[in-house]
Structure 1
Amino acid sequence: MRILLYNWAPAAAPVSEGGGVGVYLENLIETLAAGGHEVFVVSSGYRYSMVGSTPRFTRRRGTKPGARYYDLVNSPVVAPSYLMFPDATRAVDCPELVAMFRDFLRRHGPFDIVHVHNVEGISFDVLELRSEFPATRFLLTNHNYGVVCQQANLWRRDEERCTSFQDGARCHACNRFGAATDPLMISRFVGIHGLNRAHPLIRDTAWRLCRAVLKVRRSLGRRLPWDPPESRLHQGRRIGPADAFQLRRTRALELVNANCSAVLSVSEATEEILLAYGLDPQLSRVSYIGTRHYDPARAPAPKPASGPLRLAFLGYTRPDKGFGLLVDAIEAMPDRLEGCFSLTVAARISDKAAVARLERLSDRLAGLTIRDGYRQDELPALLAEVDLGLVLPLWDDALPQVAIEFVCNGVPILVTDRGGQQELAADPAFVFPAEDVGEFWDRLERIWTKRSELQRFWTLPRPLRTNAQHAAELLEIYGAT
């Protein structure tokens, strides 16, 4: 098959973007290419030129044999999607971008499959190209809620779960991040060209040159590709802020339902939410992603029967990922449990204040280790010293990559009841109501006092897939749609 895989974040690039979706796609690309399929990997909305504004596709050298990598530079739709709050209607209707993808499909096709992983960096009306390429099947995988939410995570103002958008009014007030900035785009430019890993003198020179070029362009009155519009327009007419988000949600759902051969969700939890918002149930199905960490034949190693329970938190120190909840919980730890738990945090540090607060609480723990992220090849050694993983999203996380990593490396997980990680926990004894610190400690104390729970965790079936199993399932879907 000739397969086009789309995601906003460049795959196999010197930069690491896209979170768990990026890790998943790297594995999928490798598996499909190794199976003899022609794989085209396309990104858009990430790369921008310092000297020009014309959108163009450019081929980039990749790391997977048999795959070809293309980036749309200077896309009219900036990614990730929260950067399009000032121009939400362009995220659904952008004729300029549709024309570019039409030309790409003609030039490099015919494709059997166009498989979009999140509609970010492109506009939803790109899906309408299905009518012009009837032999090509268009599929969408939802790794988040971008179909109905401009921020993609139904997490309002980076503070709370969103349950109502009030016909677009709450969406308009949701944006905390603003439009893309010149420093952000310089950082991306330097990173995608590998200059952030160069000698500091070279890196700093690149930054200075980019700043100087953009300063000149702005002094000449030039609008840059990532600049928001001066007024909100949709198809040539002015539109109010709330109406823009109402239109954006309605139109996105219409385009997905009318043009996709199948719409996949990475967990039952994600599918349930999207169906409630209007996704066509005839198109919808759940497809759990694959991972290189899963080995069906590997039995989990026994955990120590005594001593402090060794906990771990992986991923990001962000509020939506539950890091603040974890710090609150440590602060509220019952006195009787002090010293009963050690904690390893291996997460990209973005909230330094929360990390500092956790460090001040270290005397409540038997041990505290904090590191700024981790590499995939470090996971087996890192998790060999962990008894229980903590997966604590406060948003409805579609299927946290860290939950998969824990379980596939023989580590049971304690999780919140928001998101697909519940399906990997599988046992109600390892699930607690999000934001309920009391229930968090009730579950942990039970596990600490009854270590056999850690072995009982493995008696239930879980929806885990190897990369090969997942690719085989996808190819079946490709052929059936």
Structure 2
Amino acid sequence: MPEPKRILHVSTAFDVDFPGGITNYVRTLAQSQVAGGAVVGVLDGGQSTSWRTHELGFEVRGHRATQVAHFSLRSPKDTARSREVLDVIREFRPDVVHFHLTIGLGRTFYREFADARIPYVVSLHDYFLFCPRITMMDYTNNDCGGPERRKCESCIGVLDQVDLVRRGARKLQIQLPRIPSTSVTRRNEDIAAFFRSASTVLAVSSRVEELYRGVYPDAKYVVSHIGSASATAEREPKTPADKVRVTALGTLSKYKGAEVLAEIARRLPADRAVVRFFGRVDEERWGRAAEEAGVELRGSYTPADLPDILADTDIGLAVPVWEDNAPQVVMEFLNHGTPVVATRMGGIPDFVDETNGFLFDHRTTEGIDAAARFISEQTPAGAAAWGATIPRLSTPADHRASIARVYAEAASPS
């Protein structure tokens, strides 16, 4: 089956050039498809409302329904805007549409698009399509463990959907009274129709498929690990050191495991290990806690800095406390020949096992103790020898080839 020649990606809420995991993925995939001879468009969350040619060769535009001013737990019907977005999609004349983010689109969009008979696939990069909070971190800011109707209707309650009230409560750090609402249930009933009519629903990890299948069982799921550009990068040799250098990358936040990072650092012997964090600190309290635990905060970094950072790294640390779908930082560590110590959350177990790292349960003292003990038993030379045996993961080209087969199946006459 030939690959479709007109491909449209839908990735709302953010400009396609936003430096985030999903937008980085969409840009890379769209660029590779253009290089393969396809005409590619991206309907993003940017301010431009007319098609323009991006420097990477694809066409891009936004729409007022895809431009999200701020995060909201409301689920607007927005029938008129939904039809306008559908008109924009039809205008592009796609052979296949690939959905990545739909934040901002009204509830009716899902049913109307499902009825439009345009071939489409859906990628599940986060949990937005069953959890309006996106991360499955509940109103107490803790991992909810998974969706369940009554629990979700309490978590996305009446007061939570009033933006002013919700933002005020967050600023004052108070919990809103739980007044259950059926809004999230009605929203997900609309999305269920969207899933049923999709040619394929691409889950970025096994855990993502498991969670979504529990909510929307009537869909065709395929686990599709995204390709990482780091799989094609040259591995820099590890620099010598007298202590094990443990590196965490990204954002220092509760969701990303700031408290877990501090707990591990506090347990490591200072004469044998050093812990560094490169990236943005979400709140001052997490930075203070990390420094008090002995973590060196090295500030922000760019992709160009990554080879040098990882050449000075013996063990990579990835400790999200949410069901992180498929953390690209884990892929970067492994592709640069760096063993990974990580929480057993989300998509991480799809990539990390005893052959290339160590998984632990951050919710128990025994788990954190085990992670710290494992790190303290390593040496720079031993970690470097181990890292040299770690195979690379999928490249963007590998992933594009698998996506092309999914597109061809979607666009072929049934």
Q: Distance in 2 between matches of 1:370 and 1:420?
A: 27
Match of 1:212 in 2: none
Structure 1 119/442 Cα, relative in aligned 2: closer, same or farther at 3 Å? Answer: same
Match of 1:449 in 2: 377
Match of 2:6 in 1: 2
1:249 pairs with 2:188:
yes
Match of 2:229 in 1: 292
Structure 1 284/173 Cα, relative in aligned 2: closer, same or farther at 3 Å? Answer: same
Give the unaligned 5+ runs of structure 2.
Answer: 166-178
- Structure number, greater radius of gyration: 1
Kindly report which structure 2 residues correspond to 1:358-437, keeping only aligned pairs within 5 A, or say none.
358-362=290-294, 368-371=296-299, 373-427=300-354, 430-437=358-365
Deviation, 1:152, is 1.1
Tell me the secondary structure at the aligned position of residue 97 of structure 2. Answer: strand
Match of 2:98 in 1: 115
Tell me the secondary structure at the aligned position of residue 301 of structure 2. Answer: coil
Kindly report which structure 2 residues correspond to 1:7-22, keeping only aligned pairs within 5 A, or say none.
7-13=11-17, 16-17=18-19, 19-22=20-23
Q: Distance in 1 between matches of 2:370 and 2:120?
A: 46
Q: Distance in 1 between matches of 2:312 and 2:130?
A: 40
Instruction: Please give the per-residue CA displacement for 1:290-341, whole angstroms capped at 9, x wherever unaligned.
Output: 1211039x6684675x72110111111110111122123333x16xx23321
Cα RMSD for the two superposed structures: 3.0
Kindly report which structure 2 residues correspond to 1:223-262, keeping only aligned pairs within 5 A, or say none.
242-252=181-191, 254-262=192-200
Deviation, 1:61, is 5.3
Asked if the contact 1:3–1:40 (Cα under 8 Å) also holds between the matched residues in 2, the reply is yes
Deviation, 1:279, is 3.5
1:70 pairs with 2:74:
no
Q: Distance in 2 between matches of 1:158 and 1:316?
A: 20
Asked if the contact 1:426–1:460 (Cα under 8 Å) also holds between the matched residues in 2, the reply is no
Match of 1:206 in 2: none
Match of 2:206 in 1: 268
Match of 1:470 in 2: 399
Structure 1 458/430 Cα, relative in aligned 2: closer, same or farther at 3 Å? Answer: farther
Asked if the contact 1:76–1:97 (Cα under 8 Å) also holds between the matched residues in 2, the reply is no
Q: Distance in 1 between matches of 2:162 and 2:67?
A: 14
1:329 pairs with 2:313:
no
Tell me the secondary structure at the aligned position of residue 476 of structure 1. Answer: helix
Deviation, 1:250, is 2.9
Instruction: Please give the per-residue CA displacement for 1:374-398, whole angstroms capped at 9, x wherever unaligned.
Output: 2112211121111111111111000
1:95 pairs with 2:79:
yes
Give the alignment's TM-score, normalised by structure 1: 0.73
1:145 pairs with 2:122:
no
Q: Distance in 2 between matches of 1:174 and 1:414?
A: 40
Instruction: Please give the per-residue CA displacement for 1:258-316, whole angstroms capped at 9, x wherever unaligned.
Output: 32111001111111111122343x510011111211039x6684675x72110111111
Q: Distance in 2 between matches of 1:375 and 1:158?
A: 33
Q: Distance in 1 between matches of 2:85 and 2:78?
A: 11
Q: State which of 357, 362, 367 in structure 2 corresponds to 1:439.
A: 367
Structure 1 413/242 Cα, relative in aligned 2: closer, same or farther at 3 Å? Answer: same
Give the unaligned 5+ runs of structure 1.
Answer: 48-55, 182-239
Match of 1:172 in 2: 156
Match of 1:155 in 2: 137
Instruction: Please give the per-residue CA displacement for 1:81-139, whole angstroms capped at 9, x wherever unaligned.
Output: xx231x22x2xx43112211222133221x111100032122354344556653x3111
Tell me the secondary structure at the aligned position of residue 41 of structure 1. Answer: strand
Instruction: Please give the per-residue CA displacement for 1:363-418, whole angstroms capped at 9, x wherever unaligned.
Output: xx6xx2421x3211221112111111111111100001111111112211111011
1:308 alignment partner AA? K
1:113 alignment partner AA? V
1:40 alignment partner AA? G
Deviation, 1:26, is 1.8
Deviation, 1:457, is 6.0
* Seq. identity, %: 22
Asked if the contact 1:77–1:123 (Cα under 8 Å) also holds between the matched residues in 2, the reply is no
Tell me the secondary structure at the aligned position of residue 350 of structure 2. Answer: helix
1:24 pairs with 2:25:
yes
